[in-house]
Amino acid sequence: MLGAKDGAMKQLLRLACLAGTLLAAVPAGAAAYADNAYGAYQVGHYRRALSEALKRVEADNNDAAAMTLLGELYRQGLGVAPDQKVATEWYERAEARGDINAAFALATQLLDEKSGKRDPARAGALLEKAAAAGHPAANYNLGLTLLATGREADDQRAVACLEIAAKSNVADAMHALGVLAKQGRGMPASEETAARWMKQAAAAGNVPGMVEYAIMLFNGIGVNKDEAHAAKLFQRAAVLGNPIAQNRLAKLYQFGLGIPPDTIEAAAWHLAARAQGLDDAALDGLFDRLKPEQQARAARIAASRISSAVLTAQ
């Protein structure tokens, strides 16, 4: 059984990776016929997906993949009013028939009061079951849960789980492994290993990984120093709304490190970061020294970037 407390477990378990795994949940025998249910789900025709999944269950009471899809549709309210109790019932039926995606989904539902069947102990057992079967999201969440116990043996298990998730391209798992490598938790401390994982996380689109890898590149920690590459990564993360990246990019523009100097750009990125609560007295001074028309221009640029970041995050 899991050693993490119920509250920590509820916080750590996530559904973010579930949708992608459901799309791959078509049973092996599905190649013999057109999978209209999952096909409709993939292109966003959720009412049709619901109808086709129900037809499949009516035709075969052991069609676990169709049941899992129904659970997901009801959980998210896609093509039907959201209903966590009904979603849980569908996940239970699918899990009882051996669907590993349903086991992971059911684990998350059993930690939710809205499911009507909250059961943390059973949720933990299901998470362990799904992880043991190689489910990427289950391994990622189990890894986080094991880290929450603070026990050395659990740290080592967590690394093994996160590596399974990372091999399935779970970017958050790559970032987590980079952090653990820097800390020496569950594995020997190694800046080189940390840099390798952060690089993979950044390439997979993980914003914290982009920032961490950019910092390592800029300082030459665990990887050859490359200010220009670092600047590009900071810019990529800054555009996505990360305040740390916005602040670092402002400093690079201020001093012309890895990127041509530009006080207007420096001021604009500083204002964007400051709008998210990241203050910087030195950059405040830079802004104050600008002419009024330059300040106005920087403010307009910052406002457009703040709006773009909000839209990108949605």
Could you read off the pLDDT of 181-206 as tens digits, one per residue?
Answer: 999 999 999 999 999 999 999 999 99
Q: What is the pLDDT of residue 307?
A: 76
CA-based nearest residue to 80, from 37, 45, 115, 55: 45
Query: CB of 67 within 8 A of CB of 93?
Result: yes
Residue 273 has pLDDT above 60, yes or no: yes
What's the start-to-end Cα distance of the chain, in Å? 36
pLDDT at 9 over 60: no
pLDDT band at 8 (very low <50, low <70, confident <90, very high): very low
Q: How far apart are CA 15 and CA 123, in angstroms?
A: 14
pLDDT value at 99 more than 50: yes
Tens of pLDDT, residue by residue over 129-142, are 999 999 999 999 99
Token pair for residue 279? 């203050």
Per the model's pLDDT, the better-predicted residue between 2 and 104 turns out to be 104
More confident residue, 110 or 24: 110
pLDDT tier at 155 (50, 70, 90 boundaries)?
very high
Mean pLDDT of 1-8: 35
Would you say residue 288 has pLDDT above 60?
yes
Q: What is the pLDDT of residue 283?
A: 97
Give the helix, strand, coil percentages of the chain, each rounded to 5: 70, 0, 30
Closest residue by Cα to residue 106 from 167, 38, 15: 15
Decide if pLDDT at 31 tops 80: no
CA distance 252 to 249: 5
Helix count and strand count (H, E) for the chain: 18, 0
Q: Which CATH number fits domain 6-132: 3.20.20.70, 3.40.50.620, 3.20.20.30, 1.25.40.10?
A: 1.25.40.10
Model pLDDT, residue 310 = 52
> How does pLDDT run across 105-130, given as a tens digit for each residue?
999 999 888 888 899 999 999 999 99
Positions of CATH 1.25.40.10 in the chain: 6-132
Q: What is the DSSP track for 119-144?
A: -HHHHHHHHHHHHHTT-HHHHHHHHH
